[in-house]
Structure 1
Amino acid sequence: MNIKSLLLGSAAALVAVSGARAADAVVVAEPEPMEYVRVCDVYGAGYYYIPGTETCLRVGGYLRYDIGVGKGGYGGLIDVADKMGDGLNDTYYKRARAALQLDARSETELGTLRAYMHINFDWNAGVTADNLTSTGTNVGINHAYIELGGFRVGKTDSLFATMTGYTGNVIQDDLISYAGGAGADYGTHQIAYTYVGSNGFSAAVAVEEGAYDNAIDSYVPHVVAGAAFTQGWGGVSGVVGYDSNYEEWAGKVRLDVNVNEQLSLFVMGGYGTDDNVTRNFYKGWGGNWAVWGGGTYRFNEKASFNAQVSYAENKDVAVVANVAYQLVPGLTITPEVAWNSWHTENKVKIDDGFGGFLRFQRSF
């Protein structure tokens, strides 16, 4: 009887304690729903929605390592002072570059709103004022602009270079400059409008500041206008620019032909005035006229051969060829060779020579 009473009492105590603990139980809050990053396929591959917004962002860029040797083309560092004082030497030109690209886009009632930036961080080999070799770091803004619909404001390449698609697929494509003066510095502040039709036709107009010594010296901007027509067989494009500093004009016309899936060719001609100055922000070549031509032959998905020949009225000549080879996806190795001969504005030969260039580029 005592054992039975003890068991019943213990059971009652356990029930009471359990009820008390149930009444005091901690309630765990439901976790907040997590917002995962969503793919944005409206503008192509690589974009995703910034969490909590309807803005699509693409992060990209590349790491690049360049090596130049010889006298022609970009070449090496020629006739630098020997640091032991024993005369002059030739050595490599080298550059390591880290490039960051951000592209943000969203749709508005006025069209696509876009902000784009491309920043370069370089470690360069160079020559000091005393003709001694040296290295150093510099940061450059290739592009930093805003677009809404067809309007663009910011820093980018001159429309005189972009409307006709620069030149060929070689690295040293501007040994005879097609824009930006003799130094091919065609980056500029720009206000532009571009119309893009549904049939392959496009047209654009821009006011620009110029660059370095070719920057405007008053409130009157440089002016550029151009048009292009692109189809499956290739395309034709043209552009004209007015340098407000020197009141000089320059224009270019280009023809592209896709011969087949492997071979594509182009030819471009330029003409400009030189009444007040021999070269300006748009006429970067020597003499009144210049021509550029070349092409690309794709051996397969990994390898292609690129070549370009350029000639200006002052007898400047440049010949460049390379093989671009994709070793693995994202990594391309490009050995290139160039020969050029350069002259004064009066067609007097200064020098000529060969140069080699090697580029490693990991793009992402």
Structure 2
Amino acid sequence: MNIKSLLLGSAAALAVVSGAQAADAIVAAEPEPVEYVRVCDAYGTGYFYIPGTETCLKIEGYIRFQVNVGPDQAAPGTSDWDAVTRGQVQFTAKSDTEYGPLTGVIVLQANADNATFQETILDSAYLDIAGFRAGLFYSWWDDGLSGETDVLASGSTLHNSIRYQYESGDFYAGISVDELEDSIHGTRNVANVDGSFGEGETANNVGIALGIGGKAGAFTYQVIGGYDTDTEDGAIRAMGTVAIGPGTLGLAAAWASGPNAYYEESEWTIAAEYAIQATDKLKITPGVQWFDNYRNGSYGGGGVTNTTDFTSDDAWKVGLTVDYQIVENFYAKASVQYLDGDNLDDVTTGYFRLQRAF
């Protein structure tokens, strides 16, 4: 056998073996298609489709660091300053229905007075469709002027509520039924100093609020009213802003028939401010407010908070708030307020804040 015969035989053998291996080769399976996150621009910026659904989701929030100054800022009431930190995240889900957009909102908030004393709360949670809203949300009474001087609502404006709001262009009108469970007002709903309720007293008020508002060119307006069924007292508030010169002038007035869950500070009040847009990044807002028959958290006998009457004292408040945008979505705010009045020790409070929004 010569060399040529050997080479031909080896080539034939290799061809047979290669053919057998090719017949047994493993073919990789096709990868499953990947559904990437899609942008949802139907409801504005920031929304994306939840994979596998037609629901659009937006995630936003802020991180805040703040130093408060003033009397009794930190327990046990001996410090004149206190540093606090807050983190808040909001989830907004929207989808189209035959009745219009179906909206669901959840707002979670965590507050830290220090490393030991922290709390996480449900700040809002509600559903919204065809003008109806139900859940835990802030009422129209939470709206205010742009500064920090004005006090135009009672302490809590967050309620479990059912609301209908009609909107047409820049105009809206609505009615809300509110559970006022955390109110401490009324002869049947006064709280003792230790926070407990007396025998036979109730903490389950019901309130009804009405509101209208809107825009007309450079002018915005709002008129709202609230009636506390437990105290059988109500309040009315009117507020408006108008662009004038380098800033925006804001005016507000409120009246209450007696301290109630919607307004409790005084029988009458008038507030004004002028928000000056000094530069693209700097806004300066001086403000002033006058209170007629100021309640001043007065106390009655027997260690029970007197929440049913106004005093005959007057009070006034002035303040200045400065906002500065350091970079996009990051700003600083400083505010100082001075309060004085009849039979009232003058008090100065304020804060400095850094906040990053996302």
Question: Could you state the TM-score of these two structures normalised by the residue count of structure 1?
Answer: 0.83
Q: Compute the displacement of 1:169 (Å).
A: 2.2
Counterpart residue number, 1:231: 216
State the aligned residue count: 323
Distance across 2 between alignment mates of 1:335 and 1:17: 83
Helix, strand or coil at the partner of 1:22? helix
Moved more, 327-336 or 206-215: 206-215
RMSD: 2.2
Q: Conserved in 2, the CA contact under 8 Å of 1:233 and 1:257?
A: yes
After TM superposition, what 4+ stretches of structure 1 lie above 6 angstroms from structure 2?
Answer: none
Larger RCO: 1 or 2 (CA < 8 Å, sep 6+): 1
Match of 2:291 among 312, 334, 356: 312
Q: Compute the displacement of 1:211 (Å).
A: 4.5
Q: Compute the displacement of 1:232 (Å).
A: 2.7
Q: Compute the displacement of 1:289 (Å).
A: 1.1
Distance across 1 between alignment mates of 2:281 and 2:173: 34
Helix, strand or coil at the partner of 1:284? coil
Q: Conserved in 1, the CA contact under 8 Å of 2:256 and 2:264?
A: no
Q: Compute the displacement of 1:121 (Å).
A: 0.6
- After TM superposition, list the pairs within 5 Å mapping 1:271-310 onto structure 2: 271-274=255-258, 279-286=259-266, 288-310=267-289
Match of 2:153 among 179, 182, 189: 179
Distance across 2 between alignment mates of 1:272 and 1:324: 32
Cα deviation 1:14-62 (Å, max 9, x = unaligned): 1111111111111111212211111111111111111111111111111
Structure 2 stretches lacking a partner, 5+ long = 190-201, 294-313
Q: Conserved in 2, the CA contact under 8 Å of 1:311 and 1:317?
A: yes
Counterpart residue number, 2:349: 355
Match of 1:197 among 142, 157, 168: 168
Q: Compute the displacement of 1:90 (Å).
A: 3.5
Q: Conserved in 2, the CA contact under 8 Å of 1:232 and 1:258?
A: no
Distance across 2 between alignment mates of 1:339 and 1:220: 33
Q: Compute the displacement of 1:91 (Å).
A: 3.3
Counterpart residue number, 2:301: none
Counterpart residue number, 1:95: 84
Match of 2:244 among 259, 263, 268: 259
Distance across 1 between alignment mates of 2:88 and 2:7: 79
Q: 1:31 to 1:157 in 2, by over 3 A?
A: same
Distance across 2 between alignment mates of 1:219 and 1:336: 36
Distance across 2 between alignment mates of 1:349 and 1:32: 76
Identity %: 33
Matched, 1:140 2:121: yes
Helix, strand or coil at the partner of 2:263? coil
Q: Conserved in 2, the CA contact under 8 Å of 1:186 and 1:211?
A: no
